[in-house]
Amino acid sequence: MTLLSDDDGLGKKEQEMEEFMHLMYAVEKTAWKSSFSAPVAKRLEIGAKVLDAGCGNGNWILEQANNYPASEFIGLDKTSSVFPSQIRPMNVYFMRGNLLTRLPFDDDTFDYVRMSNMLTVFNKENYEKAITELVRILKPGGYIELSEFEHSPEAGPYFAMFSEEFKLKAQSEKHGEQSFQPSESLPDLLSHTYVLTSLQKAHQRLLIGGRGGRLGMASYEMIKMCFGVIHEELLMSKWALNKEEYMEIVAALLEELNERESWVNSYRHWGRKIVGRCDGIGMGGCIM
Ligand SMILES: C[S@@+](CC[C@H](N)C(=O)[O-])C[C@H]1O[C@@H](n2cnc3c(N)ncnc32)[C@H](O)[C@@H]1O
């Protein structure tokens, strides 16, 4: 692969990925009119310790660090090349780490942990591992929040086909396994930690394209970029297509999105770690 460099020293692929992550965050934030749903704003104002797990290029963390200067933010990602190199507020720290192994934090360290858009990199088993570890390092009384985009089940055939492959990307090593819907599985995974309470799930429905106004156009651009650029190589090789054949299918997808009502859902799940003693994790025996 040839990497084209720009002034920032980023390759073309990295630039595209960065642009895509900006777009995803902008769409999510605009849809929700907020950057998070867990009731943590007051704590963040006073001063909290926060982890963004799989933080990517740190969009979320940089914005919150600016909004909440009394809080301390840690962004953790497996790939350190995605971390911002030019902006680094005093209350932000980025570190390399693998969410599928034990993280270098003591139990009960963070007031708030969050993780977003891991559908293409984690299968259900990985989510379970990561959630267990995030809950371990969450303080009693602290909040965990997860957010993911999902296509609507009523999507047209092209959108459904692309979206299914997109989800299967994370699960490619598990042939024959059915892809899972995070909106259905994440509540169970969170609940089965047996140390979370006040579990909530909410979603925003985003109509794709002109019918959805400016947000709809931004959602359209997000999907166009997701399949036309970000996952192009993977899908071309999976479907054994050359570039021209692949672009024809992408064009059919875009036409379908313009012609019929399709939407994506942005889901958020959050919950609070119980305050008190928990005997027999896995048996549900918690003393509040
Ligand atoms: C699609 S990006 C999402 C980034 C960011 N959370 C967002 O919403 O824009 C997935 C991120 O997860 C990171 N990642 C993948 N596997 C990981 C792991 N096992 N531990 C930590 N980070 C991981 C990738 O490097 C990538 O930055």
Quick one: pLDDT at residue 231?
83
Q: Is the CB of 152 under 6 A from ligand 1?
A: no
Q: Which pLDDT tens digit goes with each residue over 69-102?
A: 999 999 999 998 888 888 789 999 999 999 999 9
- The two tokens of residue 135 are 């809950």
Nearest to 157 by CA among 22, 249, 221, 242: 249
pLDDT for 153: 65
Cβ of 77 closer than 6 Å to ligand 1, yes or no, is yes
Residues of the chain with pLDDT under 50: 1-8, 173, 175, 279-288
> Taking Cα atoms as reference points, which of 231, 266, 218 lies closest to residue 120?
231
Question: Is any ligand 1 atom within 6 A of the Cβ of residue 79?
Answer: yes
pTM of the model: 0.89
Q: Compute, in degrees rounded to 10, the torsion defined by CA atoms 165, 148, 183, 264.
A: -70
Question: How far away, in angstroms, is 226 Cα from ligand 1 center?
Answer: 15
**Residue 82 CB–ligand 1 contact under 6 Å:** yes
**How many Å lie between the centroid of ligand 1 and the Cα of residue 55?**
6
- The answer to whether 25 and 219 are in contact (CB under 8 A) is no
- What is the per-residue pLDDT for 87? 78
* Tens digits of residue pLDDT in 101-147: 999 999 999 999 999 999 888 888 999 999 999 999 999 999 999 99
Residue 261 CB contacts under 8 Å (≥ 6 apart), including other chains = 207, 211
For atom 4 of ligand 1, which residue has the closest CA?
56
Q: How many CB atoms lie within 10 A of CB 91?
A: 18
Q: CA-CA distance, 208 to 228, in Å (whole number)?
A: 16
**CB of 24 closer than 6 A to ligand 1?**
yes
Kindly list the structural domains of the chain, giving each domain's residue range(s) and its CATH number in brackets, ordered by start: 12-287 (3.40.50.150)
Using alpha carbons only, what angle is made at residue 246 by residues 241 and 247, rounded to the nearest 5 degrees?
A: 155
Q: Is 57 in the pocket of ligand 1 (CB under 6 A)?
A: no
**pLDDT score recorded for residue 287:** 41
Closest CA to 212 of 266, 160, 142, 166: 266
Q: How far is the CA of 151 from the centre of ligand 1 (A)?
A: 20
Q: What pLDDT was estimated at residue 27?
A: 96
Whether ligand 1 lies within 6 angstroms of the CB of 198 is answered as no
pLDDT score for 283: 40
CA of 255 to the centre of ligand 1 (A): 30
Ligand 1 binding pocket includes 64 (Cβ within 6 Å)? no
Confidence at residue 263, expressed as pLDDT on a 0 to 100 scale: 86
pLDDT at position 171: 58
